């Protein structure tokens, strides 16, 4: 076996927490819609490169059970690949490589309205959720990478998705059942045969603010905090490429959380375990 010497300028960038086999053990399948800012302010900016790096890291962490799409938005919202428009595709390495290659050819022009972006994203995920081959328990995530937000879209998000982050589906438990189907991850405890099961599903919103540490200051932080909070997601500011891995891990950790925020009801349910423990020696 040939061994290569490790020099000082060679960094070990392997992180098992971003490998698909590790991520798949942390939760149910995911529908992830990544929306990358393609407005004129991203032209000739390092934010464009950082956005591509974060998108690549997130795509690499997803598994074949997940579905994904990467869209660029300005005055239009579309995929750089024509046949990927208005749909989610399996997050395998072939589709991911095609999306990353097409991203580099997309021009950044014009401006955008965040309300139109949210409306498009919510409707696309709603269609995906009601498709015939959609898993019973599946988390959905909207990941927006933008260099600025000028308007408060919190009320618009509530209007688009008034029921909140919980979506209910009822299923009839078989009368003679020994093994519970592995595809059902989140269930209200119903031990009696023939009873009705109720699954709870999440739709989260993540907003990553791409900006220069010493650049323009506006209301993006406050507006982003409100928008991420209203849909149980995350707001974070990404200043340089060194923090890309940490931001992807933060997104995955939020997606791994169980159904602990059920707003108006507290239902006993099974869920995937979320345990983040630190041992100090």
The token pair at 280 is 């100090």
Q: What is the pLDDT of residue 2?
A: 46
Q: What is the pLDDT of residue 142?
A: 92
Q: What is the pLDDT of residue 54?
A: 93
Phi, psi of 259 (to 5 degrees): -80, 80
Any idea which architecture 24-167+201-270 has in CATH? 3-Layer(aba) Sandwich (3.40)
Ranges of each domain in the chain: 24-167+201-270
Q: What is the pLDDT of residue 215?
A: 58
Low-confidence stretches of the chain (pLDDT beneath 70): 1-13, 135-137, 163-202, 212-217, 258-281
Q: What is the pLDDT of residue 3?
A: 47
Q: What is the pLDDT of residue 21?
A: 82
Q: What is the pLDDT of residue 55?
A: 92
**Distance between start and end Cα atoms, the chain:** 37
Q: What is the pLDDT of residue 193?
A: 42
The token pair at 276 is 């983040």
């Amino acid at each position: 076996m040939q061994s290569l010497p490790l020099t000082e300028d060679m960094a070990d960038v392997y992180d098992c927490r971003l490998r698909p086999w590790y991520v798949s053990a942390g939760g149910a399948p995911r529908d992830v819609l990544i929306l990358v800012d393609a407005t004129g302010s991203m032209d000739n900016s390092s934010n464009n490169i950082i956005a591509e790096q974060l998108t690549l890291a997130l795509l690499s962490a997803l598994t074949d059970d997940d579905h994904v799409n990467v869209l660029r938005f300005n005055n239009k919202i579309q995929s750089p690949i024509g046949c990927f428009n208005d749909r989610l595709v399996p997050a395998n390495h072939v589709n991911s490589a095609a999306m990353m290659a097409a991203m580099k050819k997309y021009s950044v022009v014009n401006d955008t309205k965040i309300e139109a972006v949210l409306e498009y994203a919510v409707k696309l995920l709603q269609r995906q959720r009601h498709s015939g081959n959609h898993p019973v328990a599946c988390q959905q995530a909207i990941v927006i990478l933008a260099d600025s937000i000028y308007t408060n879209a919190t009320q618009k998000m509530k209007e688009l998705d008034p029921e909140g982050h919980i979506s209910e589906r009822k299923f009839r438990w078989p009368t003679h059942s020994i093994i519970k189907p592995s595809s059902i991850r989140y269930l209200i405890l119903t031990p009696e045969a023939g009873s009705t099961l109720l699954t709870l599903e999440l739709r989260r919103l993540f907003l990553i603010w791409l900006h220069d540490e010493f650049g323009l200051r506006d209301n993006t932080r406050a507006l982003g905090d409100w928008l991420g909070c209203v849909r149980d997601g995350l707001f974070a500011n990404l200043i340089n490429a060194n923090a890309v891995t940490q931001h992807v891990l933060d997104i995955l950790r939020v997606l791994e959380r169980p159904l602990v925020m059920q707003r108006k009801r507290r239902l006993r349910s099974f869920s995937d375990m979320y345990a983040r423990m630190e041992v100090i020696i």
